[in-house]
Each structure stands twice: as C-alpha cells, then as structure tokens.
C-alpha cells in the first residue's frame, strides 16, 4: 500500500457518517428533506405519487383497502398492464433508445442491444407464441433460464397476456424446479439449452428435463437455444417441447393487445426459502408491485431515462425482477444484463463493462464487494469509472470496511451509496437513505423510506431503546407488499403476522408485519439490520432454509441425523456448516462427505454447497431435546462457547470441537 492509501484508510476509518456529494444532490430525483413529513401526513394517499408514475387503463378508485387484514389491497378498481407500462408507453419518445444492453459470455461473442422498439416487437411475438401454446390469463408460466434477454422477454410476454410468471433461478437443481412447478400447478416452462460459465458451456436442458420428469402433470416447454452448434449438447427435444426460434419467430410481426389487469391481479410468483422445508410462493400483484418498483427505482436508485443502469444480480432473484426488469423499464431507462461472473476472463470484468458502457449506477451485493476488496483495488483502479453517479448494495448487511472500500475505490468519494434493506416479500426497497437527502452511515441501512413505518421491538412487541438489539417490524402496509403465499393463506398469516399482531382484530392498525430479521436503531432513527432470526441462512446474499439443506443431507445413504447452521465467512457473509451423525455401520470418511455435498447440490443447487461437513457422534441438545444451533454456530466460528452445562450432553461439545480443529 502506498502512503496515500494508508492516509486515506486512516481518515476513513475514523469517519462514521458521510454527506451525499453536492454534485449528486443538485441533480437528484428526490432532494427535498420535507418528503418524509409530507408522506407521513398524507398516508396512504402519498402512495398515489407512486401509482401515478404508471399508465392506467382505468383509474383506481381507492388508494388502500384495509378492510380484511392482513389481506390488504392497493389502488383498487384500477386496471393496467405491466408490459404496456414497461414498453408501449415509451415507444413514441424513446423507441430508438436502448432498453436492454446485454453482455454475454464468452466475451468475444457479440453482445446484444434491444431498443424499446426491438423489445416491444419480440415481447409481442413471444406473447402470441405463448397464447398459441394455450397459455391463458392466470396460467402460471415457469421460467428456468440463465441471464439471457429471452428471460426478460418471456416475463414481459407473460405480463402482456396476464399470465403470472414464476422464475426459478437457473443455478437451482432439477428437484427445486419440480417442487416449484408442482406447487404452482404450472403447465408451461420456458428454459434454455445451456449457457456459459467462465467460458465453458453448461448443459441446462438436461437438468430441466430431469426436473420435468418429476412434475406430476402434463407440461409444454419452449427451449431457447443459447449455445451455438459447436458448444451444444446435442439434445433431442421431446414431443411436448419446441424451440423458441420456431415458436416465437413463427409469430413474426404479431401484435398482442396488453390485457387489462386488475390492480390486484397477480403479476408473478416467486418462491423463497422459509423456516420449514417447503419453499413459500410469494404472490405479487400488478398495481402495487409495479408502483413500488417504479417509485423506488426513481427515488432510491435515482434512475433517469437517459441513464445506463447496471444491476449485477440475477433475474432469478427478486432483485433482478424489481431492479433489472420492472423498475428500470417502467422508467424507460437502459438496463444492463450481464450473463457472466465478475472474475472471468479476469477480475476486472465488471469495471471493464462499466467503463465500456459508461454505466451510471451500480447495484450489487456486499458479498461481491468483499470479493473485490480481497482481489485488490488495482482492478478497479485500472479503469475509468467516472460515469458512475450512484452505488447500491442489497441482500445482506454490509460491514463498514467494505462500505468504505466501495465508496472510495468504486465511487471515488463522489457517489452516494444506498444500502437497501428489503425482501422478496416486500417487493422493493424499504429501509435505506434517500441518496439526495440523507447522510449515510456505513453499516446502517438508514431510516425507513418515506411512508414506511418500521419499528424495532422486543419479544412483547414493545419499542426498544436506541442502540439495543430487537426485532424489525413494519406497522403500516405498503403497496409493494406480498398479498399472500400462493394457495396458503394460513401460512401467510402464521409466518408474517401472528407474532406481533392482534389477529382477532379487523382494524388494520392492529396488524404488524414481521420480516423475521433482527435489527437495532440509533438516536437518529437509522436502522442496522443484524440478520435473520429464523432458520434461514444468508449465503452470498441468497436465502437458504436450513431445513431444506438438512432434509437433503438426511436423504443421503449412511446419514442418520443432520443439523445445518450458518458460520461466518469472509466473502460469503455466511457459509453452510453441516453437522452429521452417521448411521451404524457407516464410516465417517471422505467418500460419505462427498456424497453429502453432492446430495445437497442435487437437491438445492451449488449455492447451498456445505463449506464443511463435520461428523459428530451426537448433536448438542438442550434438556428438552432441542438442537442447540447457536452452539453449533459458535463452534463453526471458533468462538468462546460460554457455559454449556445446561446441555443434556455437554461431553459432545469437545468431541465436535476436535473434529472441527482437524
Ligand atoms: C432483496 C433480498 C431478504 C433478506 C432479509 C435480510 C437480508 C437484504 C439487506 C439485508 C441487511 C440489507 N437483507 N438486504 N440485511 N442489510 N441491506 O435480498 O431479498 O432474497 O428475500 O432476502 O436478506 O435478512 O430478510 P431476499
């Protein structure tokens, strides 16, 4: 490190709050600090500002309907179409401007640019193709696709004909695909033959087909050919499968009128991990969700039509839905889509892309920032990143060191950082500073957005003092919130409302949303989110249920019992640690360890791959027989274990520690 760097580090180390750069404030979409008070005084009508960013086919009659808690409704009586809002309405003024800038791997291959005209045309053709296949309004269409433009096209085509989509992350396993298609009774799948990872072609269709084998009803599939002949895996299509080129290009020039959807009609489903083994089908609606995605993209990400906005998430997660596809396109901007990884062909890949396309915003995850930090600042330093105006993070807490590194080495101290807390369930951002208004404090997401009423409470639901840890709750509904868990209203109430609501009350004010995160608040009302308080672990910003992983491990021959916990990890934030008891007659050996890792990968996907598999004769249990997960976490982290005498089997602790120390 040079002397200058050392000085800079020392100066930053001491600084715990940062004013938004003046140059940014001057041009910010939202820069009036009065917005907080104005929204509070005018709740819920303040949210008409969000709805009015959209074009409605018929106007809504009521902003908020709280008559049947917790099944809240927004913009009732209104009708709109999400694809018309993301495409048609931009054609007159911005038809020739770029909607999607796609950067594919391998890097020497041609990238693709879609103007709004191009995207509109292809979405119409795809909508016609889906209709031709028999997809009707409200039929759930599953997408199991890599980061290729056809994924966004297929989503918007579904939205155009009123068919909700359910996107399954391409890195998920065949089992995960089948579970989600079965749960949603989804009869249609759009997938791809393969894609590239670090230059190598991956066979995706075989995995999709394996999933389809486990789907209990008839299905129809459309397959996008992503791979050129030379790299393709020579798949034969089944009878109920056809190629995207045949289906979509057969509809050349087709025009499909955007279906008028009720504000409360489902736009999409997204399955996410929860406390039990079964993933939850989070249901989002057309009016509330799209308003939220558009308004937050405007107020928090400061997106303007002339921007080239880059979010490095995968569309298979909610971040990609709200902040690669719906929010940015609703605002008529250029949204980038990158297929590859940040370290291929070299560790400066993102910086090269930002320089080349003159990206104006970068929205990424703390896990990526920690990796960039580890690789070293020489990678970003060798590129001109001066086009950047705003930086954002999402998915997990960001530690102040990583925040400061991002601020200096990527933002050159000239870009505000928005640390945005939200969830699949919230539809969009909820807690973050407004970049043109609020002071930033590294490590703290910031205050709730205007109109959002968050509070940190203790187990009884009483507000906790500043500085003390408690549970994050949200007291007032908001337009982007999930409406229910698909076909499971009871679980919806149990998971998010029962804890802190008066569930007998029919007054919406007695209902409190519980996101299952721990948090603390400071004197200025800034919230630091500490992490999940349920059995969900956050690996590289991805939510994984410990139960899902445990059931995969117990499914491996030779395993009697398993407990999975999240241990600290430098780059991933948390990593999966699996404690395993073998069945009698099975050896605790490398072969079994490998079978366990393979079992987890095939049930969930490589993201759930255990960092360590620790064999143990027993699991530490309380006297009432509950597994002491906290203790297993401490062992994984090498922390001081404190008093273990309340355990039913304290001797097991040293046995496990020996294994970990090996
Ligand atoms: C958008 C997304 C949601 C969980 C959430 C929380 C964690 C997200 C965060 C954060 C601290 C932030 N989380 N953003 N924790 N600071 N800025 O990530 O959705 O995949 O559903 O995960 O992620 O624990 O409850 P999702």
Question: Is the complex ipTM higher than 0.85?
Answer: yes
Q: Could you report the per-residue pLDDT of 463-521, keeping only the tens digit for each?
A: 999 999 899 999 999 999 999 999 999 999 999 999 999 999 999 999 999 999 999 99
For every residue of 142-202, which 3-state class applies, written as one string?
EEECCCCHHHHHHHHHHHHHCCCEEECCCCCCHHHHHHHHHHCCCCEEEEECEEEECCEEE
Write the pLDDT tens digit of every residue in 234-257. Answer: 999 999 999 999 999 899 999 999
Alpha helices in 534-589 (DSSP H): 546-554
With a 6 Å cutoff on the Cβ, whether 422 touches ligand 1 is yes
Is residue 462 domain-resident?
A: no
- Domain presence at residue 459: no
Domain ranges, residue 382 = 1-81+260-451
Q: pLDDT per residue over 502-516, tens digit each?
A: 999 999 999 999 999
DSSP run (H or E) holding 599 = helix 590-603
Residue 315, number of CB atoms within 10 A of its CB: 24
Query: Does residue 176 sit within a domain?
Result: yes
Q: Is 210 part of any domain?
A: yes
- d(C-alpha 636, C-alpha 228), whole Å: 45
Domain end among 257, 286, 315: 257
User: Looking at ligand 1, which atom is closest to the CA of residue 425?
Assistant: 21
Question: Tokens 């101290």, residue?
Answer: 413
Which residue lies with its CA nearest to atom 15 of ligand 1? 396
In the reported structure, the alpha carbon of residue 509 is separated from the centroid of ligand 1 by a whole-number distance in angstroms of 25
Answer yes or no: do 273 and 171 share one domain: no
Q: From atom 7 of ligand 1, which residue's Cα is the shortest distance away? A: 396
Q: Which of 451, 482, 516 is the last residue of a domain?
A: 451
Mutation pick for ligand 1 pocket among 272, 318, 324, 395 (CB with most ligand atoms within 8 Å): 395
Together in a domain, 301 and 197: no
Distance (angstroms) between ligand 1 centre and the Cα of 54 equals 27
User: Residues 318-368: pLDDT tens digits?
Assistant: 999 999 999 999 999 999 999 999 999 999 999 999 999 999 999 999 999
User: What's 307-368 look like in SS3?
Assistant: CEEEECCCCCCHHHHHHHHHHHHHCCCEEEEECCCCCCCCCCHHHHHHHHHCCCEEEECHHH
Distance CA 44, CA 51 (A): 12
Distance CA 264, CA 268 (A): 11
Same domain, 197 and 244: yes
What percent of the chain clears pLDDT 90, i.e. is strictly above it?
83
CATH number, residue 372: 3.40.50.12780
Ligand 1 site, residue 394, Cβ cutoff 6 A: yes
Among 18-32, 194-208, 366-380, 538-552, which is the least confidently predicted range?
A: 538-552
In the predicted structure, residue 653 carries a pLDDT above the cut 60: yes
CATH number, domain with residue 222? 3.40.50.980
List pLDDT tens digits, range 14-24: 899 999 999 99
Answer whether 394's CB lies under 8 Å from 529's CB. no
Cβ–ligand 1 distance for 318 under 6 Å, the answer yes
**3-class DSSP state of 555:** coil
CB atoms near residue 174 (< 10 Å): 20
Burial 228-239 (b: 16+ CB within 10 A, else e): eeebeeebeeee
Residue 187 CA to residue 241 CA, distance in Å, equals: 12
Higher pLDDT pick, 568 / 631 = 568
Residue 125 domain flag: yes
Q: What is the pLDDT of residue 106?
A: 82
Flag whether 220 is in a domain.
yes
pLDDT (mean) for 306-321: 97
pLDDT at 635: 84
Q: What is the predicted pLDDT for the residue at 8?
A: 77
Q: How far is CA 207 from CA 24, 170, 204, 241, 595, in A?
A: 46, 10, 5, 15, 19
Q: For residue 275, count CB atoms less than 10 angstroms from its CB and return exposed for 0-12, middle for 13-18, buried for 19 or more.
A: middle
> What global pTM score does this model have?
0.92
- Ligand 1 center to residue 319 CA distance, Å? 10
Same domain, 68 and 185: no
Q: Judge whether residue 649 has pLDDT over 80.
A: no
55 & 155 share domain: no
Residue 542 domain flag: yes
Q: Which atom of ligand 1 is nearest to the CA of 420?
A: 17
Q: In this structure, is residue 196 part of a structural domain?
A: yes
- Check whether residue 210 and residue 316 sit in a common domain: no
Distance, in Å, from the CA atom of 124 to the CA atom of 119, rounded to the nearest integer, reads 8
> Cβ distance 173 to 147 under 8 Å?
no
Q: Which of 395, 428, 451 is the last residue of a domain?
A: 451
274 and 402 within one domain? yes
For residues 553 and 426, state if they share a domain: no
Question: What would the pLDDT profile of 113-157 be if each residue is shown by its tens digit?
Answer: 999 999 999 999 999 999 999 999 999 999 999 999 999 999 999
Strand 334-338 versus strand 188-192 pairing type? unpaired
Contact (Cβ atoms closer than 8 angstroms) between residue 297 and residue 28: no
Q: Residue 658 C-alpha to ligand 1 middle, in angstroms? A: 34
- For a ligand 1 pocket test, name from 280, 423, 446, 473 the mutation site with the most ligand atoms within 8 angstroms of its C-beta: 423
Region 85-105: mean pLDDT is 97
CB 153 within 8 A of CB 127: no
Co-location of 423 and 553 in the same domain: no
Do 32 and 118 fall into the same domain?
A: no
Res. 443 pLDDT band, cuts 50 70 90: very high
Instruction: From 210, 174, 276, select the one nearest 551 (Cα to Cα).
Output: 276
- Which DSSP string corresponds to 435-497? TTTSPB-TT--BSBPTT--EEEE-TTSPBPPTTS-EEEEE-S--TTS--EETT-HHHHHHHHT
Q: Report how far residue 527's alpha carbon sits from residue 299's, in angstroms, rounded to the nearest whole number.
A: 19
For residues 198 and 619, what is the distance between their CA atoms, to the nearest angstrom? 39
Averaged pLDDT for residues 630-636: 84
CATH code: domain of residue 605: 3.30.300.30
Taking a C-beta distance cutoff of 8 angstroms, is the pair 428, 292 a contact? yes
Do 550 and 417 lie in one domain? The reply is no
141 lines ligand 1 (CB under 6 A): no
pLDDT for 35 beyond 90: yes
Number of separate domains in the chain: 3
Question: What is the rounded CA–CA span in Å between residue 301 and residue 416?
Answer: 10
Strand 98-103 relative to strand 266-272, pairing: unpaired
Q: CB of 397 closer than 6 A to ligand 1? A: yes
Alpha-carbon gap, residue 163 to 221, rounded angstroms: 15
Assess whether 338 and 209 both reside in one domain.
no
Q: Is 562 helix (H, G, I), strand (E, B) or coil?
A: strand
pLDDT of residue 1 exceeding 90, the answer is no
- 309, 285 contact by CB (below 8 A): no
**For ligand 1, atom 18: residue with the closest CA:** 395
Q: Tens of pLDDT along 581-626?
A: 999 899 999 999 999 999 999 999 999 999 999 998 888 877 666 7
């Amino acid at each position: 490190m040079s002397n200058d760097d050392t000085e800079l580090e020392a100066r930053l180390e001491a600084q715990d709050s940062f004013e938004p750069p003046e140059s940014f404030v001057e041009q910010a979409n939202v820069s009036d600090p009065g917005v907080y008070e104005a929204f509070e005084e005018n709740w819920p009508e303040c949210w008409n500002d969000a709805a009015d960013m959209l074009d409605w086919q018929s106007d809504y009659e009521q902003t908020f309907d709280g008559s049947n808690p917790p099944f809240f409704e927004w913009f009732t009586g209104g009708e709109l179409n999400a694809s018309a809002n993301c495409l048609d309405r931009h054609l007159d003024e911005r038809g020739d401007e770029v909607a999607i800038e796609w950067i594919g791997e391998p890097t020497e291959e041609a990238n693709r640019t879609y103007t709004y005209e191009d995207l509109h045309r292809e979405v119409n053709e795809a909508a016609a193709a889906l209709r031709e296949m028999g997809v009707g309004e409200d039929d759930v269409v599953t997408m199991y696709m890599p980061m290729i433009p056809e994924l966004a096209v297929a989503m918007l085509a579904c939205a155009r004909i009123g068919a909700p989509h359910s996107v399954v992350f391409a890195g998920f396993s065949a089992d995960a695909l089948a579970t989600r298609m079965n749960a949603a009774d989804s009869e249609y799948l759009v997938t791809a033959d393969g894609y590239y990872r670090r230059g190598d072609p991956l066979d995706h269709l075989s995995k999709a087909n394996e999933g389809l084998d486990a789907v209990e009803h008839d299905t129809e599939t459309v397959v996008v050919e992503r791979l050129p002949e030379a790299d393709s895996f020579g798949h034969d299509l089944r009878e109920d499968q056809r190629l995207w080129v045949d289906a979509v290009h057969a509809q050349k020039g087709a025009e499909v009128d955007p279906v008028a959807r009720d504000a409360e009609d489902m736009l999409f489903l997204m399955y996410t991990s929860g406390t039990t083994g079964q993933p939850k089908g989070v249901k989002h609606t057309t009016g509330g969700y799209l308003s939220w995605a558009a308004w937050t993209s405007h107020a928090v990400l400061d997106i303007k039509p002339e921007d080239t906005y880059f979010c490095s998430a995968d569309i298979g997660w909610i971040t990609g839905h709200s902040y690669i596809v719906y929010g940015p396109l609703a605002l008529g901007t250029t949204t980038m889509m990158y297929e590859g990884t940040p370290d291929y062909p070299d560790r400066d890949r993102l910086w090269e892309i930002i320089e080349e396309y003159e990206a104006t915003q970068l929205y990424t995850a703390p896990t990526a920032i920690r990796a960039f930090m580890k690789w070293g600042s020489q990678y970003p330093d060798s590129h001109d990143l001066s086009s950047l105006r705003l930086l954002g993070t999402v998915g997990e807490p960001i530690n102040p060191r990583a925040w400061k590194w991002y601020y200096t080495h990527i933002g050159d101290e000239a870009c505000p950082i928005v640390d945005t807390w939200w969830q699949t369930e919230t539809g969009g951002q909820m807690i973050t500073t407004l970049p043109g208004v609020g002071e930033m404090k590294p490590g703290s997401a910031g205050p709730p957005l205007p109109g959002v009423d968050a509070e940190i409470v203790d187990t009884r639901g009483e507000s906790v003092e500043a500085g003390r840890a408690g549970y994050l709750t949200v007291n007032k509904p908001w337009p982007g919130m999930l409406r229910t868990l698909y076909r499971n209203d009871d679980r919806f109430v149990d998971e998010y409302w029962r804890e802190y609501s008066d569930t007998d009350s029919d007054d919406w004010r007695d209902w409190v949303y519980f996101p299952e995160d721990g948090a603390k608040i400071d004197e200025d009302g800034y919230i630091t989110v500490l992490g999940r308080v349920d059995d969900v672990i956050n690996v590289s910003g991805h939510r994984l249920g410990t139960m899902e992983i445990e059931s995969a491990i117990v499914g491996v021959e030779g395993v009697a019992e398993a407990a999975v916990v999240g241990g600290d990890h430098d780059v991933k934030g948390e990593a999966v640690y699996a404690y395993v008891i073998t069945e009698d007659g099975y050896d605790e050996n490398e072969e079994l360890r490998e079978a366990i890792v393979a079992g987890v990968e095939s049930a969930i996907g490589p993201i759930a791959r255990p960092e360590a598999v620790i064999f143990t004769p027993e699991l530490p249990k309380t006297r009432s027989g509950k597994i002491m997960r906290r203790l297993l976490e401490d062992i994984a982290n090498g922390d001081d274990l404190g008093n273990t005498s309340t355990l039913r089997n304290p001797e097991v602790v040293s046995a496990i520690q020996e294994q970990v120390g090996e």
